[in-house]
Structure 1
Amino acid sequence: MKKQFALTLLLVPALAACGGGAPTAPTTSSVSINSASQLEINAPTKATAAAKDANGNTLNGKTITWTSSDPTIVAVAADGALTAKKLSASPVQITATVDGKSVSANVTTYGLEVTGGTYNNTISKLVGTHFLIRFREADQTGPDAAAPVTIQGPAAFNGGQAFTGTQTLPLKTNVTEVRFGGAYYSAVTPVDGEYTASTVVNGKTFTSKFSIDADMLLPAMQNPVVNLTASGYTLTGTAGTGVTYVQALVFHTGTSTTTTLSLLPVSSLPASREFTSQQMPSGTYNTYVRSYNVDLNNATGLTPAQSNVAMVAAGTVTF
């Protein structure tokens, strides 16, 4: 027994001298990523990534850090879960990083996008609700036929009733604008909270979620003047903070016909436009100006978090 004990004591320093400590962790040489290239709005999916050593072997137990180049369009969670929120104007880059090594994948989005906001009607002194509806199929086109959209808001919105069939999907890549609270009808008051929109295209249901801040109002144009003639018009005035586009409307009092004129960037004011197709009939017109924080003509561009509109009277013109 004494000899065995002595032998054991001699082996301990021998093992230490041979470097019997913890093995060195394998070094990450590269990272691979697997992600769908097209993401449907409000239909979560998941991206995966793997760390590789110099020989291409997968290294388990590595911490992966996920990032998105635009989380407002596509959000990525710590586990790689992807959520498309809005239609992308260009590819969004999803990146996985391990031990300083990164790899990225480009993704685009499709589906139903509805953006809500307020309609500040200074004529009726009421605040209505505004919806901006866009739709894109996976092939980046729009539907071939109109499809009704249902919008359900918080319990206090519209008496808890959903809007169905009063607005339809835009054809191809157009934008559909829906205003509840115009100059000649009572407003549907916006309510703070979350909203859900849905539609069915070719038997498939698409949904979109968005929120509205009822206190976020766009200011109406100050000192607006619409100088209307038979052959064209000039629009002058001062746009409020946050306004990016303005649009004049003229109402013929004799025929009760409203004509919506060109959507103009604020940077072009004062602006003059000539009518190219036909002249305006003579008579007396009530004129109005709408202000927007979004370009309604850009169906492929990015929309703001909330689409707000303001309306103001701009006087009467007779010619």
Structure 2
Amino acid sequence: MLSRTLLCLAVAAAPLTSLADTVWLKNGDRLTGKIKLYDGGRLVLATDYAGEVTLTGDKIATLQTEQNLLVKHDEDATGEHSKGLKAAEPGKVTLVNGAEETVPLASIEQIVPPRPLLQDWVWKGQVDFSVDHTMAENDVEDYDVDFKTNARHGMWRHNLQGEYNREKKDDSVSVNNYSAEYALDRFFDEHWFWQGKAEYKRDWVEDLEKKRTVGTGPGYQFWDNELGAFSLATLVNRNDYDFVGGEKDHFYSASVKWDYNRYLLAKQFEIFTNGEVGKPLSSKVDYEVESEAGIRYKLTSWAALSLKGEWDRLSAEDGGVNQRRYTLGIGVGW
């Protein structure tokens, strides 16, 4: 009874007009900041005094925020929108959505602040580094650097990604290439967008020396929030290929791009995959696949250990590519 009385007094003393979110702990402590997400039994609170703080759900007494939130219960697959949360008795929280409803914290599976469509510039990205040098019967050097970033403002999103790979075994270079891609998305609403892209790839080992592609087409953003993002785009492309033997090929193709990432356990882990599958409309090229998938483990608020697999496949009459790579490295995210 004493702890409940103290909690109620603390709630009453808190300024209702404060923009800071408040988390009361069961040990009596109170933390202020901004609720980023609640997932996997963990709450991520962004503070100006300690960065992002992760709290386990069994330590939380109650919450308060004026943010618009998507709250998902254990038995609810879609979730419900709430205009905020009010503090309640320990172990419970009140959802503010017209008629207020007090629910146990243990019944909540996820709390995600929705990302507004019109907002100031939002920039996020990831750079992964991998270096391997093995000295044994064979001397192997392996380098891999790739980056991916996008910047969003209002109805426009800029996407930029690139990669450099080099592998040397004794005196023979088995992998040596780089690629870069820029894509611009114009959103029509929260989900639908139109994309235009340009891509260039240079390889000094495989049969396909140079690849230049420009494409355009519609896309659909299934979701984009603090828990991750998932989008698909269908494109019509103009492709120009230069092969080692001097052969050239230019053709049109249709392709499907995907981009998926999902954070788990309050962003402690991240699983991701992205790539593109293309089918020429008429060409000596049969099909092409460029894909990657992996997992990242968060070491600090900005650094992560990454394990990634890549598969590039090109089937063509004048030569082809069938390359698989697996890398373990350190990444920097923002």
Structure with larger RCO (C-alpha < 8 A, sep 6+): 1
Q: Over alpha carbons, which structure has the higher Rg?
A: 1
Q: TM-score, normalised by structure 2?
A: 0.28
- TM-score, normalising length: structure 1: 0.29
Higher strand residue share? 2
